[in-house]
Amino acid sequence: MSATSHNGVIDLDIDDVKRGLADGSLLLIDVRETDEYRAGHIPGSVSVPLSTFDPDALPEAGERRVVFSCNSGGRTLRAIAAAQAAGLGLNEHYKGSYKDWVAHGEPVNTGDEP
């Protein structure tokens, strides 16, 4: 794993995210706004816009780790802070997020489907 940690937040890179999506060990939550998500998102990600973010309404992750994603990694930190303020032990995000995914030439989905 090439994750790094700072201030209690764990930064995941593209390889960590791809591996977790492939083996089903992580739930990738995209906190960009709905129009951004519909225009293009990481396959398998779930849309939970930061503007209406409610930690108590996050999708059921089961045994999967919750990892936040946005456009470049900034909004994920706000989502983590909100989740932690609500008492949830969530602390992982895809540091480069969507921009990094696209820069690596990875496939994207459009519309509302994960």
Which amino acids are annotated catalytic? Answer: 70
Q: What is the DSSP string of 22-62?
A: HHT-EEEEE-S-HHHHHH-B-TT-EE--GGG--GGGPPP-T
d(CA 16, CA 69): 13
d(CA 97, CA 73): 5
